[in-house]
Structure 1
Amino acid sequence: MPPLDLSTHPGHLARRLQQAHTLLWTTMVSEDVTSPQFAVLNTLVDADGLDQRTVGERVGLDRSTIAEVVRRLVARGLVDKVRDTRDARRSALRLTAEGARLHHRLSARTARMNEVFLAPLAPQERSTFLELLRRVSDAAEDLRNPTTRTPGRPAP
């Protein structure tokens, strides 16, 4: 059997895209803060006080991954974890002043990195590319967790 043409395999292309993103992230944005960590900081900018599960859902991280990301952010003093007085099982996440400053600093770098990342595409292609990535990502999320299916979107 001849070798497969991996340029037609979405998983292969997604892995290469992720490798390119990781390289750009570490060289242009931060060697110390990962993209998932930034996503958590970014979520808490406008929604301070969310619980860990909700933040994980919003940024597309599973329970064990969000737990580790939050643990690291708390250890660095970027996020506070405050026990809910009404429900001891729940902790609210709050961005610290240092976390807010870091988010502000990294936001500009992230914007520049995204420009470089999408530079091969014309403006209209960028919009289409991002919309297609969102659709595939949402469908993949539905496969992983059918109970959080986006309302109004049919099951795969």
Structure 2
Amino acid sequence: MSAVDLSGHPGHLARRLQQAHYLLWNTLVSEQTTSPQYAVLNTLVADPGLDQRTVGERVGLDRSTIAEVVTRLTRRGLLRKARDPRDGRRSLLTVTEEGLAAHRELTARTAAMNEVFLAPLAPAEQGVFLDLLRRVADAAEGFRTGGEEARAS
């Protein structure tokens, strides 16, 4: 059996793309705040007071991962957690003033990182690339959740 050319394997390319993103994030955005942590902050800046489960669903994090991200952000003073007065089992999340300041700085740095990340592509290609990534990522949500999308085909 001969070796397979992995340059046409989407999983291999996705892993390489993730490695490049991780390197750029740590170099140009933050070594302290991870990309998933930023996604949580960003979601709560857009829609304050969501519960932890909803935030996890919106950013594509499973229950244990969102719990860990929320714990880390809360410990750093970037998020505040409060019991839902209507349902004591749920925690509602809001971004603190320090969290809002961190979000502003991270947003500017993320925009600059994205320019570097997408620089190999022409502007028209960048839009197509992002659309294709979004479509594949949206379809892949079904694999994670076991939804109909995973079984369709």
Cα deviations by residue, 1:14-52 (Å, 9 ceiling, x for unpaired)? 000000000000000000000000000000111000000
* In 2: Cα distance, 1:68 partner to 1:147 partner: 25
Per-residue deviation, 1:145: 1.1
Deviations 1:45-94 (A, max 9, x none): 11000000100011111111000000000010000001011100011000
| SS of residue in 2 equivalent to 1:88 | strand
User: Pairwise mapping of residues 10-25 of structure 1 onto structure 2 (< 5 A)?
Assistant: 10-25=10-25
Distance 1:148 1:87, change over 3 A: farther
Task: Find the residue that maps to 1:93 and give its secondary structure.
Answer: strand
Tell me, in whole angstroms, the C-alpha distance in 1 between the residues paired with 2:147 and 2:130. 25
Structure 1's consecutive aligned runs of 4 or more residues displaced over 2 angstroms after TM superposition are 146-149
Matched, 1:4 2:4: yes
Q: Provide the TM-score with structure 1 as the length reference.
A: 0.94
Aligned equivalent of 1:127: 127
> Which amino acid letter does the alignment assign opposite residue 126 of structure 2?
R
RMSD between aligned residues: 1.4
Q: Does 1:26 align with 2:7?
A: no
Question: Cα deviations across residues 124-151 of structure 1 (Å, max 9, x unaligned)?
Answer: 11011001101111111012214596xx
- The answer for unaligned runs of 5 or more in structure 1 is none
State the alpha-carbon separation in 2 of the partners of residues 132 and 61 from structure 1. Answer: 21
Q: Give the Å deviation of 1:155.
A: 3.9
Equivalent residue number for residue 67 of structure 2? 67
Identity over aligned pairs, percent: 69
Structure 2 unpaired stretches of 5+: none
Between the aligned partners of 2:146 and 2:20, the Cα distance in structure 1 is 30
Letter in 2 for 1:72: R
Q: Which amino acid aligns with 2:12?
A: H
* Structure-2-length-normalised TM-score: 0.95
